[in-house]
Amino acid sequence: MTDKTPRLLVFCSLYPSQVRANAGLFIRERMSRVAEHSPLVVVSPVPWFPLQGLVRLFKPGYRPQPASYEQQNGIDVYFPRFLAIPGLFRTLDGFLMAVGALPLLFRLKKDFAYNLIDAHFAYPDGYAATWLGCWFRVPVTITLRGTEVPLSKIPGRRERLLKALQRAARIFSVSESLKRHVVELGADSEKIAVIGNGVDTTKFFAIDKSEARRRLQLAEDAQVLISVGGLVDRKGFHRVIEILPGLLEKHPKLVYLIVGGASPEGNNRAKLEQLVESLGLRQQVRFLGAMASEDLHVPLSAADVFVLATANEGWANVFLEAMACGLPVVTTDVGGNREVVSNSTLGTIVPFGDSDALSRATDDALNRNWKRQTIMAYAADNAWDKRVALLLAEFNKLVNR
């Protein structure tokens, strides 16, 4: 029998679009590389309900609606709508997502002939994908990315999350800690392969620090901290801001760069700006806004230390991106962070919620003489090519078994 080529239908509600350019970039990074070896299309369901235009009168950025189709880097990306009423019937999101995508998948089965559905996040996306896999009789893979930790605390969603993992033909976890979490919930350990995210060293690389600082109008002798991520409480920008007054006593030329903007989880920039104002840090904290990934190497190259006091992560790509630019990382002991910042030559892990430990580790990182070439070599060893080779092998097994 002739081997079949995997023809993937990538199913993920968090995928970049013209109205949410920075959503799910880590997923597009991975799948665009898979697309170099296997044909694929992307289906990214968008929540909708009839009165959401009224909500935008009060919340202008609420649920931005992309066009139904975009082509991104030669990949067809579809954005079907599904019914999702805010605050109501959330346990139905997965099933309604599947129903909303059903007409499109009928058409794509005929026009594209996909033989594998590759879903990202166990709920609602993975749960929806496993319904579709049953209906169209194709295997489904699910990648766990970290949202499974908070969602598993909600009984109805935990039940559906586990149902999705039970139905899936193969599960990929971006970290060992996330695999352990779902196995403790009842998932089958033998079905789960740990394949972390990677880094694109053609986008993330160090440039001359003086030049980078000149572009950002930073003083040559400043000591610079940087955080990158969506402006939401989970990412912990406020925790870093709160330790700055103490750090400034030891590092009077300290500057903190915050790179990020609104995300599907929200936008707390106004709250962060208010905190900066209340602590008298207007001269020390700079909000650079959301930046394209192609431009991030400039502020990263201008910095001395990357810090992220995050509450939850699966596998934070941003750590590898910072390391590719030569930065040590100070972060919290949550999710897969310890697996990325895997030894003391790369940075420091501190207990979550311990502001004193965060302050001490950041102070030490600013004072320490880091071997930045070692840090960059570690990032290069975690390039996307190695991850994609593992994924392709798994996809081939599934469609040819």
- 161-207 confidence digits (pLDDT tens): 999 999 999 999 998 999 999 999 999 999 999 998 889 999 999 99
pLDDT digits (tens, 9 = 90+) for 298-313: 999 999 999 999 998 8
Name the domain count of the chain: 2
DSSP of 311-354: S--SS-HHHHHHHHTT--EEEES-TTHHHHS-STTTEEEE-TT-
Q: Clarify whether residues 134 and 230 are in a common domain.
A: no
Of 209, 236, 175, 237, the residue nearest 326 (C-alpha): 209
For 392, the domain range is: 8-198+383-400
Q: Clarify whether residues 247 and 177 are in a common domain.
A: no
Q: Clarify whether residues 17 and 110 are in a common domain.
A: yes
SS3 125: helix
* Side chain identity at residue 94, one-letter code: G
* 48: pLDDT strictly greater than 90: no
Question: Any bridge partners for residue 332, and if so which?
Answer: 350
Q: Clarify whether residues 154 and 274 are in a common domain.
A: no
Look at residue 2 and tell me if it is in a domain: no
* 349: pLDDT strictly greater than 80: yes
pLDDT digits (tens, 9 = 90+) for 209-240: 999 999 999 999 999 999 999 999 999 999 99
Q: Clarify whether residues 362 and 220 are in a common domain.
A: yes
Q: Clarify whether residues 216 and 242 are in a common domain.
A: yes
Look at residue 203 and tell me if it is in a domain: no
pLDDT class for 246, splitting at 50, 70, 90? very high
Q: What is the pLDDT of residue 2?
A: 59
Q: Clarify whether residues 125 and 23 are in a common domain.
A: yes
Q: Clarify whether residues 252 and 281 are in a common domain.
A: yes
C-alpha–C-alpha distance, residues 39 and 287, integer Å: 40
Q: What is the pLDDT of residue 1?
A: 45
Look at residue 204 and tell me if it is in a domain: no
pLDDT digits (tens, 9 = 90+) for 7-46: 999 999 999 998 888 788 889 989 999 999 999 999 999 9
Q: How far is CA 110 from CA 43, 107, 119, 278, in A?
A: 15, 5, 20, 59
Q: Clarify whether residues 194 and 214 are in a common domain.
A: no
Look at residue 3 and tell me if it is in a domain: no
Across 229-315, the runs of DSSP E, i.e. the strands, are: 254-259, 285-289, 305-308
Q: What is the pLDDT of residue 237?
A: 97
Q: Peptide bond before 245: cis, by omega within 30 degrees of 0?
A: no
Q: What is the pLDDT of residue 26?
A: 86
Look at residue 218 and tell me if it is in a domain: yes
Look at residue 184 and tell me if it is in a domain: yes
Q: Clarify whether residues 235 and 97 are in a common domain.
A: no
Nearest-Å Rg of the Cα atoms of the chain is 22
Its pTM stands at: 0.83
Look at residue 389 and tell me if it is in a domain: yes
CATH, residue 368: 3.40.50.2000
Look at residue 16 and tell me if it is in a domain: yes
Own/partner contacts of 244-250, CB < 8 Å, gap of 24 or more, are: 244/279, 244/281, 244/284, 244/285, 245/279, 245/280, 245/281, 246/359, 247/359, 247/362, 247/363, 247/366, 248/284, 250/363
Question: What average pLDDT does the structure give for the chain?
Answer: 93
Q: Clarify whether residues 362 and 395 are in a common domain.
A: no
Q: Clarify whether residues 179 and 241 are in a common domain.
A: no
